[in-house]
Each structure stands twice: as structure tokens, then as C-alpha cells.
A and B are shown apart, each in its own frame.
Chain A
Amino acid sequence: MPPKLVVQGLSHHYPDEYTGEDVHALDNVSLDVDEGVFAAVVGPSGCGKTTLLNILAGLLPYSVGHVKVDGIDVTGPGPDRGVVFQEHAILPWRTVARNIGHGLEIQGMASEERKKKVQEFVELVNLTGFEDRYPHELSGGMKQRVALARTLCADPVIMLMDEPFAAVDAQTRITLQEELNRITMATKKTTLLITHNVDEAAFLGDKCFVFTRRPGKLKATILIDIPRDRRVWKDLLHDPQFIEKRDEILTLVREEVSPHGDD
């Protein structure tokens, strides 16, 4: 079976917003993700991860290379690629249920059918009882669950996640990572997660793409063959297989972090 996501020879330049200098964000990136695989892209900050995600999402036009989802060229944003953004990207003027059903509403699904589907995903992300709340009444972690449910509910070919747990506190992040693992197990959704957190990438990914610093190139691909039902933090922290993989990724990423800290 052909891969769900294919990126081939993708390079990207853009002029800096203030200085106008040319920024070389991505250099000849090629990667692919098969159906049902959870892939994680990890690299130091400013390695073009977000640029890659924006191109995959269709929010940023690209000129050099190919991006195909399900065999079709990416030319703009579309419902075949659902995105979970870093910031709280759910609409403040819609209730939880209406946010989750938004994708289906746009697709024109009838209201009865939509309600049933929404309920299913409300339960999946453990938000039962909060359907009629507005986002400002929810905690940061709950907002990200809504965003996740909204994306999954629209049933995209592939789910793209841009540092989805970067803005929540450490404790919540651990819970959300385990939840995401459970949901991935249940839905088998093809996913591409962008993160700078090596632990997160190793914990969630079946396949980790490590990027170099700018201009971002694919440095290595690490396969992590740990069954999903074993992926629970308290066990995994002592799992030699996990520790080995995580340290391998960590070493690769460390080589890329500039000695002066953030660049």
C-alpha cells in the first residue's frame, strides 16, 4: 500500500519579515508516513519544523519539491489534513460541541447525524458534561482536548500536530500524552507530530524524523517498535528499549543545538 504522506525534495526559502533577508528554512527534505503510523518530527528550535507543518497543512505555498497526501498534490488547506495547533485555536464563540462538530458542519453533514458523531468524540476525549461550555470556561488541557476531538471528528486522512502540548503545564502534558496514545490506539489515525520535546517524540512516535538545525534537513529516521499498550509513562521510564531509543534521539538532537543556546 502506498504511503499516506509523501514529501519529496522539499526546500523552502522566505524573506525575513523585518530585515528582508533570505531565510533558508528547509533543504531537500524527503520523508513518508504509512497508513496508521504515528510519526514524530523532532529537532532544535528554528529548524523549520513549523515551516514544514504549514506547508503540509497547505497554509504556506511551496515551490521546490513535492508534497502528496493520499497521492494528491497539496495545493492549499483542505479537510484531508486536520491540524491541531500549538495555541488555543478553538473558536471562543462556539461551545465545545459546536467546536468539535465544526468540520462536519463545513462538510455539510445533517445536524442529527452530526450530533451523534460529536457525542462519540466528546466521550473519546473525556469531555462528557462539558458539551455546552464555552472555551473560556475550560482549562488549557481541556481546550487542547477539544482541538484534538475537532480534528479527529472531521476524519482527515492524516492528522498534523504542531507542538500541541507546548502551552500546557508539565503535569497536564503527561496526562495528555497518555491520552493521545490511548486515542491513537483506538482510532489508528495516521499522524504527524511536530515537537522539540525528545521524550514526547519517543513516547508517542512509531517513527521519529530527526531534523538538523536551519536549514532543516532530515538527519535520521528512528523506528520505535514499542506496542502502544505498553506506552505508559510510569513503566516506560524504566523500559530499556525506550531509554535506548530516547537517548539515541537525544544525542542526535544535541549535536544540532547551537553552543550559544537558541539561535
Chain B
Amino acid sequence: MATTSPSVERPRVVRSARWRRFTKGGGVELLIMVLGILAFWSFLSSVIPNPSRYLPAPLTVLFSSSDMLWKGLLPNYLGQTLFRLVLGSVLGLAIGIPFGILLGLNRTVSDIFYPILNFFQSISGIAILPIIVVWWGNSEKTVFTVILYTAMFPITFNVLAGVRSIPRIYVNMLRSLGASRLQVVRDVILPGAMPYIATGARLGIAFAWRAVIAGEMLVGKRGLGWMIFTAQDTDHTDEVILGMVMIGVIWILIDRFALRPIEADTIQRWGLVQR
């Protein structure tokens, strides 16, 4: 390690900042890895018996997608799945946020409802699905109920935690200025709980995504979940994998480009309220 000539300097490698960020963030590794996995996957498909059943090669999967695109099926399924996710999440937020605030504002209300909410939360949405199927049959209403049920709890509990995290002094200050309850909610509670609301929303939507896929599979409504389920039934493993990749990619896109930025932005903007 030690050399004797003190005048020798190590060569300096100057690279652009963007390249540096890319390599530091593991961009090169990511690229190599994705290619490596694709290569390994192709290799596996070429050596196993009956690859079209057990593991179709990446290219086969890609061709099946162009085939499905051609028929207009894929956009159709994708649209339906996303529609369910959006509607379920919006409803979940619309119910979960006010409910969470109500619970957070009043100790008695939360003491009354917290245990039962906890009980129903531990029954996952997917477990109550059979009951709802008995009630409403294999209908769109059934799927939505499951999605809503799943999304609501994490949102409610996070909003509750958010309201609780607001220092009493802010509320007292506003009350002493003569503000009404409604004004307190609008000016202190809502902005103060905002970071938690954002986190809860992200979590709730993540849960809802799982519920959408599971609901489609179990109830048999057209969408990505339904697509992979029937594809397995009809022995189209290429479409199963295609559907899985789509489910993964879409979630990463939603999470990275919509939910996370919103969450980070909210925390940055409103996070000061807590400190």
C-alpha cells in the first residue's frame, strides 16, 4: 500500500456529474443485471423441457404481447384494472380521511371505535371476499367492496396517527384566537396531518393494488389479474408472465412517478408543522 515517492499523484478521472450519479446510484449494475436476468431466463427456457408451458423465453413473451396488443385486449384489461384501482382508492381516501380525523380529534370516539376497526383490519379484504361473493355474487360491486375495504384501513389509521402527532399547543393557540372547531380542523389538523395522510394514501393504494389483482382473479372480472388467471387455466404461460411483468412495471411506475413524489413533496412542504 505504501510507496516511497511522495511526488507521485494518482491520475484524476474527471467524469460528468450525471454519469457519476448514474454509476453511484448503481445504474450500470442495474443495466447489467436486467440484461443478465434476461439472458439467464432465455438460457433456462432453452434447456428445460416444454418451455412454452413452464417458462417461455423473454422473446416469446414479448411476441405474445404484440399479439394481444393487436387484438386490443391488453389495453382493455389494463384500462379496467386501472379504473378499479383509481375508483377504489378515491373512495378509500374519501371515507378514510374524514374518519381518521374524527377518530383523532376525540379520544372517546377513538376509544370506542379503535378496537373494532382493529378487529376488522385483521380480517384482510381478501378473506371477506367469499362472504361478499355470497351476498352479491360475482359482480363488479363485490370487487369494489373488497378494494375499498382493503384501502380504507391503512388510510384511516395513518390519518389518526397524523392527527395525534400534532402538538396540542397549535390547537390551543388557535382556539385562544377564537377559532371555531371547523377552522381548527382546516388550519391546523389537516395541514398538520398531511405528511401522515400522504403516507397512508400511498400504503392504502398499495394495498388496493393487491386487492384489485386478487379480486379480479377470484371474482372473474376482466383485467390484468383475470388475464393471468385465465391464461394459466388455458395453458398460456407466456401470457401469465406478460401479465405479471405488466403488474410489476405498472406498480413501479405508479409508485415511483406518482405516489412517492407526492408523499415526499407533502412531507417536505408540511413536515415543518411537526417540528
Interface residues of A (CB under 8 A from B): 9, 11, 13, 15, 19-20, 22, 28, 61-67, 73, 75
* 17 A-B interface contacts by CB (under 8 A): A9-B6, A13-B9, A13-B10, A15-B12, A19-B17, A62-B1, A62-B2, A63-B1, A63-B2, A63-B3, A63-B10, A64-B3, A64-B6, A64-B8, A65-B6, A66-B2, A67-B2
Are B2 and A20 in contact, with the CB atoms below 8 A?
no
Are B6 and A11 in contact, with the CB atoms below 8 A?
yes
Are B1 and A20 in contact, with the CB atoms below 8 A?
no
Chain B 13-24 per-residue mask, 1 if CB under 8 angstroms from chain A, else 0: 011010010000
Sample of 17 further A-B pairs with CB below 8 A, known A62-B1, A64-B3, A64-B8: A11-B6, A19-B17, A20-B14, A20-B15, A20-B20, A28-B6, A61-B1, A62-B2, A63-B3, A63-B10, A64-B6, A65-B2, A66-B2, A66-B4, A67-B2, A73-B1, A73-B2
Q: How many A-B residue pairs have CB under 8 A?
A: 32
Looking at A28, A61, A62, A63, which has the most chain B CB atoms within 10 Å of its CB? A63
Q: How large is the interface on B (under 10, 10 to 19, 20 to 34, 35 or more residues)?
A: 10 to 19
- Whole-angstrom distance between the alpha carbons of A28 and B6 in the complex? 7
- Whole-angstrom distance between the alpha carbons of A64 and B7 in the complex? 8
Q: How far is the CB of A131 from chain B (nearest CB, A)?
A: 38
- Whole-angstrom distance between the alpha carbons of A15 and B9 in the complex? 13
- Whole-angstrom distance between the alpha carbons of A67 and B10 in the complex? 19
Q: How far is the CB of A58 from chain B (nearest CB, A)?
A: 10
- Whole-angstrom distance between the alpha carbons of A13 and B60 in the complex? 52
Q: How far is the CB of B18 from chain A (nearest CB, A)?
A: 12
- Whole-angstrom distance between the alpha carbons of A67 and B6 in the complex? 13
- Whole-angstrom distance between the alpha carbons of A4 and B70 in the complex? 79
Q: Which residues of A contact B8 (CB under 8 A)?
A: 64
